[in-house]
Structure 1
Amino acid sequence: MAIYQITLKNCAFYARHGVFEQEAALGQRFLVDVVLDVEAGDALVSDEVEQTVHYGLAYALVEKIVTGSRRNLIEALANDVALGLTAWSPLIRRVEVAIRKPSVPIAGILDYVEVRVEHPV
């Protein structure tokens, strides 16, 4: 059985995740990457969107999870995204989620903090 990948890169969402009260009050931008290993089935030959993981619908699900319930940890958020995607489509064989938080409340100079979670199915 063939496997192919679908990647959603640098999806930007505004949300209120974080441990501190000001993060909940102010919110900030989060950047999300998703890599899906998808069972090919008939999609590569049929050329029919119904035979694959529709990446527009996958994006909408990621957006709903990221902008929905507040989490203290981006680790928990990444895990929720991964679990939501694997539960959503039986064609997904592995999902990797990276969440970047550019505005971290620490005393230091850095571009962002990133957490990655991987779930094989």
Structure 2
Amino acid sequence: MGIIRLNNIKVYAYHGCMREEGMIGSDYRVDLKVWADLTEASVSDQLEDTVDYVHLNKIVKEEMAIRSKLLEEVCQRILNRALDELSMVTKAKVEVSKLNPPINGDVHAVSVELTKKR
């Protein structure tokens, strides 16, 4: 079993419950971790024998572009697609962080993290 991580994917998106968040948008950080059997790829050195992290990044970018009120829904969509589209992935964990959230306080980020297995 192996792990592939995409760390600190930076995205500008329009998630949130407030109407203004849908109009103004905000900076987000996404971290994605997937588990897969990487044994064959470690021997063959062929892209088709591993999980393509370009595909994972595409999933993150596309799902972050779809407005949601809750980060929980965004996380679930990312996980669903990773498991649906990449058959080698046996487990995935995603963390979506809204940077400088519009809350009454000095908070660098709020994050939601979800994990899903096959």
The 5-angstrom pairing of residues 20-39 of structure 1 reads 20-39=18-37
Which position in structure 2 is the counterpart of 1:46? 44
The 5-angstrom pairing of residues 8-23 of structure 1 reads 8-23=6-21
Which position in structure 2 is the counterpart of 1:108? 105
Shift of 1:41: 4.9
Per-residue displacement from partner, 1:79-100 (whole Å, max 9, x unpaired)? 1111111111110010000000
Which position in structure 1 is the counterpart of 2:80? 83
Q: TM-score, normalised by structure 1?
A: 0.93
- RMSD (Å) for aligned C-alpha atoms: 0.9
Which whole-Å CA distance do the structure 1 matches of 2:31 and 2:42 have between them? 24
Q: TM-score, normalised by structure 2?
A: 0.96
Please point out which of 67, 71, 78 is paired with 2:68: 71
In structure 2, stretches of 5+ residues that fail to align are none
Which position in structure 2 is the counterpart of 1:95? 92
Which secondary structure state, in structure 1, belongs to the residue aligned with residue 79 of structure 2?
helix
Which range is displaced more, 40-49 or 105-114?
A: 40-49
Which whole-Å CA distance do the structure 1 matches of 2:19 and 2:82 have between them? 29
Q: Which amino acid aligns with 2:38?
A: A
Shift of 1:38: 1.1
Which whole-Å CA distance do the structure 1 matches of 2:10 and 2:16 have between them? 16
The number of residues matched between the two structures is: 118
Q: Which amino acid aligns with 2:67?
A: R
